[in-house]
Amino acid sequence: MDLTGDFVAPSIDWYALSPYIALLGGALVLLLVGSLTPRWPRGWYAMLTALTAGAAGVVASLQFAALADDAPRSLMKGVLAHDRFGLLAVIAICAAVIITSMMASDVAVSAAAAGDAPSAVADGAQTDSLEPYSLLLVAALGAAIMVTANDLVVSFLGIEILSISLYVLAASDRRRTASQEAGLKYFVLGGFSSAFLLYGIALVYGTTGQTNLGGIAVVLADEVTLPRNDAMLLAGVALLLVGFAFKVSLVPFHSWTPDVYHGAPTYVTGFMASLGKIAAIVALVRLFVVAFPVRADDWRPAVFVLAVLTLVVGSVLAIVQTDVKRMLAYSSISHAGFMLVGLEAAGHIGSSSASEGTSSTLIYVVLYSVLALGSFAAVSIVSRTATAAGSTNATSLDSFKGVAKTNPVFALGFTVLLLAQAGVPLTSGFVAKFGVIRAAVSTESYVLAVLAMVSAVIAAYLYLRIMVSMWLSDSSSPRISLGLAARLTMFVTVAITVV
């Protein structure tokens, strides 16, 4: 009896999956070829990483443009979404990998120029090996899965791929105890937050019988199938929110952020602040807007409270810091609060302006990722110079004194990035902040809009302190030597900021 006619071949859209395949293939090829061949010429690891991410980004851009005419669809039996919302995030993720690989390459070149001595280079001296670059691509793969996941289990898979890569990257500088501590702390607390996420997924699945986001929404819309006041469902939603709150660094789940950001190699810190925010925020927005729209009245107040706490605490704690990396770490917490302002606006499902909240949140996190990468690149450049000059605290505010007098062009670029983070007009930061505040006003969340504006004013003092130190303080820092990769990183991030 011939039964082969009963076989059903799987239907897979390989072109739609090509960005994921490129990132995974690039990471595997880099590891395999790099481990089987002698040490490559300096900079090749970074170049291949950037080319791989660039190829994935170009394909994602073409798919993004094609969706202007085509309807969004799902992939792999509905577990991945193929829409403009997710593809724009994938493009930003690929851009973050390209910029970070340039930062890492600059660190490697500086380490080589200093003789690779622990006392002669700041942090990240291990970037001449291939492992960090492979981990950048693996982390990007996890982030890409997160932002397009249409299923709770697949989203959790992406979270773990991203998180494990970041744990290792945070501890990648084996010469510094602070880096090891950062990696360990991030791993322990990250595992704790993953447990919250997994338990929340289990409760939601136990209540609805679904892990697909669209399927959950359909079940919840059926009042006969599921009672309105279901304690187990609400507990599951709350646990999911707590788990994502850790990933996004929302108050009061933010305590790990300053220590991990400060201890990790600076190029890794920038990568965490950009790619981590993109993945977690986009996944959070997709989860709550797609899966729980009929329960928006239940989760929106919690988002409101988290947004208020994150805006206020992040801004206030940032202005009392004396270390620039910790300043920017608390600043990233405050920026996460602005992103929640957009999510809260998106939670007004019945309002015609709800979609504005969704789009403004995505725009904010994409633009902020560029600011974070550029700002931490500037910190990395200054700290390496300070360390080479014998400073024991290379990222302190004192290391930035008089930088404008010895390196006016570099200081001007960093100033533009800081002004953008403050939300000054004619910068991308103003566009981002204006978008989420306008969305809040459109949905009549006036209290949140006012608090966001007050928080922006408070945070502006933080950026002003750094600018005053660079431009108005007496010079105490040696002249900074900028390599090609450093110049390119600063130029690209500043150009995106002002265009």
H-helix or E-strand spanning residue 453: helix 446-471
Alpha helix positions (H), 209-346: 213-221, 231-248, 256-263, 266-271, 277-286, 296-318, 324-346
CB atoms within 10 A of CB 437: 23
- Kindly write down the DSSP assignment for every residue of 110-155, as one continuous string: HHHHTTT-TTTS-S-GGGGSSHHHHHHHHHHHHHHHHHHB-BHHHH
Task: Say how far apart CA 275 and CA 17 lie, in whole Å.
Answer: 20
pLDDT of residue 118: 44
> Mean pLDDT of residues grouped by 10 in the chain (499 residues)?
60 86 92 77 82 94 84 82 92 94 78 50 57 92 94 94 93 84 90 92 90 89 64 91 92 89 91 93 93 89 94 92 91 93 88 84 94 92 78 78 87 93 91 93 90 92 91 76 84 88
Identify the DSSP state of 37: S
pLDDT of residue 119: 42
Residues 101, 89, 449: CA angle, nearest 5 degrees: 115
The upper half-sphere exposure of residue 76, i.e. CA atoms within 13 Å in the direction of its Cβ, equals 17
Are 436 and 303 in contact, with CB atoms under 8 Å apart? no
pLDDT of residue 117: 46
Backbone angles phi, psi at 315, to 5 degrees: -70, -45
Structure tokens that stand for 362 in this block: 């995505």
- Please report, in angstroms and rounded to a whole number, the separation of the first and last CA atoms in the chain: 68
Helix/strand/coil for 75 = strand
Task: Say how far apart CA 433 and CA 424 lie, in whole Å.
Answer: 10
Task: Say how far apart CA 32 and CA 34 lie, in whole Å.
Answer: 5
pLDDT of residue 8: 65
Structure tokens that stand for 458 in this block: 């408070």
Are 266 and 255 in contact, with CB atoms under 8 Å apart? no
